[in-house]
Amino acid sequence: MSKRQIRLGAFVPGTSQHVAGWRHPQARPQDSHNLKYFIELAKTAERGLFDAYFLADVPVTVDPDTTPDLGLNGTFSAGLEPVSLFSALAAVTEHIGFIATASTTYEAPYNLARKFASLDHLSEGRAAWNVVTTSGSVVSKNYGINDALLPKERYERADEFIEVAQKLWDSWEDDAFEYNKQTGQFFTGEKLHPPRFKGKHLAVHGALNIARPPQGYPVIVQAGQSEDGRELAAKYAEVIFTAQQKLEDAQAFYRDVKSRLIKYGRHADDLKIMPGVSIFVAQTEAEARAKYDELNAYIHPTLGLNLLKQLGGFTEDLSQFDLDQTLPEHLTQAQNGASRQQLILEIARKNNFTIRQLYQWVASARGHWTLIGTPEQIVDQLQAWFENEAADGFNILPPTTPASLDDFVDLVVPELQRRGLFRTAYEGKTLRENLGLKRPENQYVLEKRHTSQAS
Amino acid sequence: MSKRQIRLGAFVPGTSQHVAGWRHPQARPQDSHNLKYFIELAKTAERGLFDAYFLADVPVTVDPDTTPDLGLNGTFSAGLEPVSLFSALAAVTEHIGFIATASTTYEAPYNLARKFASLDHLSEGRAAWNVVTTSGSVVSKNYGINDALLPKERYERADEFIEVAQKLWDSWEDDAFEYNKQTGQFFTGEKLHPPRFKGKHLAVHGALNIARPPQGYPVIVQAGQSEDGRELAAKYAEVIFTAQQKLEDAQAFYRDVKSRLIKYGRHADDLKIMPGVSIFVAQTEAEARAKYDELNAYIHPTLGLNLLKQLGGFTEDLSQFDLDQTLPEHLTQAQNGASRQQLILEIARKNNFTIRQLYQWVASARGHWTLIGTPEQIVDQLQAWFENEAADGFNILPPTTPASLDDFVDLVVPELQRRGLFRTAYEGKTLRENLGLKRPENQYVLEKRHTSQAS
Ligand SMILES: Cc1cc2nc3c(=O)[nH]c(=O)nc-3n(C[C@H](O)[C@H](O)[C@H](O)COP(=O)(O)O)c2cc1C
Ligand SMILES: Cc1cc2nc3c(=O)[nH]c(=O)nc-3n(C[C@H](O)[C@H](O)[C@H](O)COP(=O)(O)O)c2cc1C
């Protein structure tokens, strides 16, 4: 068996991952709806031999009624739909996979299964679906639903959704289509399998109107950290995108999820855990730190304070205090007991951060692990996680697009390769082949085989 | 003003339009899920200066429980999803527009508006949405709905759907995004307009998460012939795809729909009526007829008889009769009074068709106008419809892909150009520009202007 190597996802929104990344001199927010720009980004990622390009998605945007800093917080306000963008990129790339996010709460299985099968055909086997359940009643109002499903129900629905999506992808056996010009037989009737699915939340009667995807199913990716999220991942996911800040936490998560696989008849290798990591890299540590400071200086104070207030769970208006002093005493006590608030207060205390430094830290990391340093320093860290049961790979979150993606490809990838931790050429043609995942068999073919063996 | 010219849509499924088109020696049904093949087709259509590539779509396929000739009737069994396919084609073409069919009955407005806006951005203004209401309770079962909406309700929902889709596309004014790196202002708050829509069937609260499409709205296309369908078209459609067999019927339809525009404050030029036409063309009439006969000979008798039975509304099994004799006497009387049945019986009588000839006629035309002849003969007919208030253009349905598309581009297009009926180069960059349609203003900008003029 070949040596275990790091898998890499490029999590690269057109407008940058860092809230102020778009203000970087090289950033091109004006190109955030421009295909040519995304072609450049995809080609850079492909040059860096990334397994996949990853796009998040939530069917909602900022709202005048609920966004206090309207106009400042634009990073995720608007953008291209992932499956259509990736379809376009499939036409002009050769190797890189495409992980598109789509919600089990706000789509119909028939439509979602169809579009992902389509992307898998268009890309000749490079599609992946990041299964999200999409929290929040704000989103549900965009679908005419007044009350969002409870988290529990969202995950129940997600479970049914993946089950029926897999049935839909199995509608046609791989060799169902004969295209026999001599006999006039277009397909073999016995190789067509409508799902006839009736669940608690979903029902689908007929077969999918597209041939089985080249990969069998697109790769199933999952992002969700709760108990229900982990269980769903253990049952179905082949890649997990997770937010982990510390080695020990990442290890605990890694072991917990991997240990859940057995009861679903799965092997630890069937699931690749890939935490997100935001990287500021340069030839010297000072330069890397300067890149970090530069982006943070671009954070508009109004925006930074709002993010700090929101994520930290503060109730008072923070702009009344001197931003270059530490948090006033009465705010340094836990306010709502949430783990994120505790983390923020702990960071403030430990680093003796001023309010400005604190909001910069909050706004910059946004829940993800952040590394600042030389290529060697960065790779030391990645290697430690990779070799100590904390990660099978990483989703790289370049803080500013395109500069930090270029930096990663030009500086970090060679160092990973030098240490034998990363490929020097794509191994396979499909995303599954590159990730080292097997192609799932058609469930109806398996069934037939079992039935015929039993009789 | 420049001379009025014919608009052309290329209605080209990968597996051919004619039920047996895929059996033609040059047909490539095995490539029907292959992007490279569609790139060739799109480039041929672009070489022919077509306004748009048109794809139908219904979220359903053949079913073992209801398809008697399972395996033979494959033409529309499986294929790529139109918006993702067109997104890929957008990356490798320059001029041709893309008309994707999507259903108002089985999609959510937020998702549909997003993906069409996305396609319009990816193609830099070449997207169109063929609005269909999708008949049939068979489809609804794929969405967990047991009873399909009544036609009346489907059209009510469609009307609300287009209204709210337009509001979603207007969420952001054209110049809403400032991307001002100096001030940190990403967008102008006052230029964001969430729809806050509450209808009888649909509700959407928040703004769309994508910038306004380059064309304002994608071009709105409609295909539906009923009273409700015509009214919807008169209110919103900019192109109609219609099935008309005779000049007089086409003229009646044309005048009827155009006369309905006035009450919506619209001009006759704001709507292009484009009937479908299936064309068999060759340098001599005999050769063209041979092409027609060749395809018809490929129709499997079982399939042909089933189509004849179904479309003709017969209750008896037709395979018990001699296929090379005319219909037995007792079947030549009207059975259900439907207009399609009457048309079929009339054709049989007039041409003294044998049963085989009759099913060939039924299976081949499938409700669309069919022309067989030399380029001059074909263009004579098209010109007659175009110059006599029956059509503003045509959706060309090549019976077999790719051969009949090549034939049209190589033989008919030059003849159209010779007579000055068709462009010799694309006029504009966007589909609207090529079709001669205006770019719609943002409704909220219009509102502001009216309010400020009134005060
Ligand atoms: C790393 C990460 C990325 C996520 N990306 C998305 C996304 O792009 N779109 C979305 O709707 N939800 C996204 N989510 C939210 C999850 O789908 C889920 O709704 C949320 O995490 C709540 O579920 P949980 O309690 O299991 O974590 C993401 C979650 C995580 C942890
Ligand atoms: C020329 C033509 C093309 C059509 N194409 C589609 C299609 O691709 N998908 C679909 O679901 N319905 C399609 N329809 C059906 C219409 O959307 C509509 O459901 C049907 O015509 C019934 O409505 P009507 O009674 O107004 O004609 C088409 C109809 C016509 C006339």
Question: What are the sequence ranges of the domains in chain B?
Answer: 7-283+374-454, 296-364
Give pLDDT, residue A331: 86
pLDDT value at B1 more than 60 = no
* Mean pLDDT confidence for A100-120: 97
Please give the biggest Cα pair distance in chain A. Answer: 85
Q: How far, in Å, CA of B425 to CA of B408, rounded?
A: 17
Q: Map residue A53 onto helix, strand or coil.
A: strand
DSSP string, B339-361: HHHHHHHHHHHHHT-BHHHHHHH
Ligand nearest to the CA of B395: 2
First to last CA, chain A: 37
**Could you report the per-residue pLDDT of A136-184, keeping only the tens digit for each?**
778 999 999 877 778 889 999 999 999 999 999 999 999 999 999 999 9
CB contact under 8 A, B72 and A206: no
**Could you report the per-residue pLDDT of A349-373, keeping only the tens digit for each?**
999 999 999 999 888 877 789 999 9
Please give the biggest Cα pair distance in chain B. Answer: 85
CB contact under 8 A, A73 and B179: no
Smallest CA–CA distance, residue A108 to chain B, in Å, is 7
Q: Which two tokens stand for residue A381?
A: 């860290």
Query: What residue's CA is closest to ligand 2, atom 1?
Result: B242
Contact status, residue A20 vs residue A298, Cβ threshold 8 Å = yes
Give pLDDT, residue A337: 66
Chain B CB contacts of A70 under 8 Å are 189, 192
At residue B137 the predicted structure's pLDDT band, cuts being 50, 70 and 90, is confident
> Which of B11, B107, B135, B232 has most ligand 2 atoms within 8 Å of CB, for mutation?
B135
Q: Map residue A317 onto helix, strand or coil.
A: coil
Ligand nearest to the CA of B231: 2
**Could you report the per-residue pLDDT of A272-311, keeping only the tens digit for each?**
999 999 999 999 999 999 999 999 999 999 999 998 998 8
pLDDT value at A76 more than 70 = yes
- Side-chain-side CA neighbours of A323 within 13 Å: the count stands at 15
Smallest CA–CA distance, residue B204 to chain A, in Å, is 4
* Mean pLDDT confidence for A97-125: 97
Q: In CATH, what number does B7-283+374-454 get?
A: 3.20.20.30
Query: Is the pTM for the entire model greater than 0.95?
Result: yes
Share of chain B above pLDDT 90, in %: 84
Q: Which atom of ligand 1 lies closest to the CA of A367?
A: 1
Chain A CB contacts of B117 under 8 Å are 81
Strands B272-281, B393-397: pairing is parallel
Q: Is B110 annotated as a binding residue?
A: no
> Which of B130, B140, B225, B394 has most ligand 2 atoms within 8 Å of CB, for mutation?
B225
Q: How far, in Å, CA of B275 to CA of B242, rounded?
A: 5
Nearest to A128 by CA among A34, A240, A281, A292: A240
Of B88, B111, B298, Cβ closest to residue A88: B88
Q: Which of B73, B186, B190, B197 to mutate to test the interface with A (most CBs of A within 10 A)?
A: B186
Per-residue burial over A190-225, b = 16 or more CB atoms within 10 Å of its CB, e = otherwise: ebbbbbebebebbbbbbbbbbbbbbbbbbbbbbbbe
At residue A225 the predicted structure's pLDDT band, cuts being 50, 70 and 90, is confident
Q: Is A226 annotated as a binding residue?
A: yes
Q: Does ligand 1 have an atom closer than 6 angstroms to the CB of A99? A: no
Does the CB of A78 have a partner CB in chain B at under 8 Å?
yes
Ligand 2 proximal residues by C-beta, below 6 Å: B 56-58, 101, 103, 132-135, 151, 223-226, 228-229, 241-243, 276
* Mean pLDDT confidence for A429-453: 95
Q: Does ligand 1 have an atom closer than 6 angstroms to the CB of A278? A: no
**Could you report the per-residue pLDDT of B158-197, keeping only the tens digit for each?**
999 999 999 999 999 999 999 999 999 999 999 999 999 9
Q: Does ligand 1 have an atom closer than 6 angstroms to the CB of A224? A: yes
Does the CB of B189 have a partner CB in chain A at under 8 Å?
yes
Contact status, residue B79 vs residue B26, Cβ threshold 8 Å = no
Compute, in angstroms, the gap from residue A244 CA to the centroid of ligand 1: 13
Give the C-alpha distances (Å, rounded to integers) separating A69 from A21, A300, A306, B247, B453. 17, 10, 7, 61, 30
Q: Which two tokens stand for residue B182?
A: 């100096």
* Mean pLDDT confidence for B422-446: 98
Chain A CB contacts of B206 under 8 Å are 60-61, 63, 138, 141-142
Chain B CB contacts of A39 under 8 Å are 91
* Mean pLDDT confidence for A221-228: 90
CB contact under 8 A, A59 and B185: no
Q: Is A69 annotated as a binding residue?
A: no
Does the CB of B268 have a partner CB in chain A at under 8 Å?
no
A299 DSSP 8-state letter: S
Q: How far, in Å, CA of B270 to CA of A225, rounded?
A: 52
Does the CB of B80 have a partner CB in chain A at under 8 Å?
yes
Measured over the CA atoms of residue A230, residue A235, residue A240 and residue A246, the dihedral's sign is: positive
Cβ-based burial of B248 (10 A; exposed 0-12, middle 13-18, buried ≥19): exposed
At residue B455 the predicted structure's pLDDT band, cuts being 50, 70 and 90, is low
Chain B CB contacts of A209 under 8 Å are 58-61, 76-79
Smallest CA–CA distance, residue A60 to chain B, in Å, is 6
Strand partners, A172: A192
* Mean pLDDT confidence for A57-78: 90
Compute, in angstroms, the gap from residue A134 CA to the centroid of ligand 1: 6
Q: ipTM of the assembly? A: 0.96
pLDDT value at B15 more than 80 = yes
* Mean pLDDT confidence for B401-424: 98
Q: Which atom of ligand 1 lies closest to the CA of A135?
A: 19
Q: What angle do CA B253, B258, B260 make, to 5 degrees?
A: 100
Does the CB of A26 have a partner CB in chain B at under 8 Å?
no
Of B71, B110, B184, Cβ closest to residue A186: B71
Cβ-based burial of B321 (10 A; exposed 0-12, middle 13-18, buried ≥19): middle
Query: What residue's CA is closest to ligand 1, atom 30?
Result: A223
Compute, in angstroms, the gap from residue B166 CA to the centroid of ligand 2: 21
Chain B CB contacts of A306 under 8 Å are none
Strand partners, A240: A222, A273
Instruction: Answer with the residue of higher pLDDT: B313 or A335.
Output: B313
Strand partners, A277: A369, A396
Q: How far, in Å, CA of A321 to CA of A324, rounded?
A: 9
Q: For residue B396, report the phi and psi dihedrals to the nearest 5 degrees.
A: -80, 125
Q: List the helix and strand counts (H, then E) for chain B.
A: 16, 11
CB contact under 8 A, B110 and A111: no
Q: How far, in Å, CA of A269 to CA of A217, rounded?
A: 17
**Could you report the per-residue pLDDT of B245-291, keeping only the tens digit for each?**
899 999 999 999 999 999 999 999 999 999 999 999 999 999 999 99
**Could you report the per-residue pLDDT of B42-82, keeping only the tens digit for each?**
999 999 999 999 999 999 999 999 888 889 988 888 999 99
CB contact under 8 A, A206 and B138: yes
Give pLDDT, residue B259: 97
Smallest CA–CA distance, residue B150 to chain A, in Å, is 20
Compute, in angstroms, the gap from residue B115 CA to the centroid of ligand 1: 21
At residue A252 the predicted structure's pLDDT band, cuts being 50, 70 and 90, is very high
Q: Which residues, including other chains, have CB under 8 Å from residue A322's CB and lie 6 or more apart?
A: A355
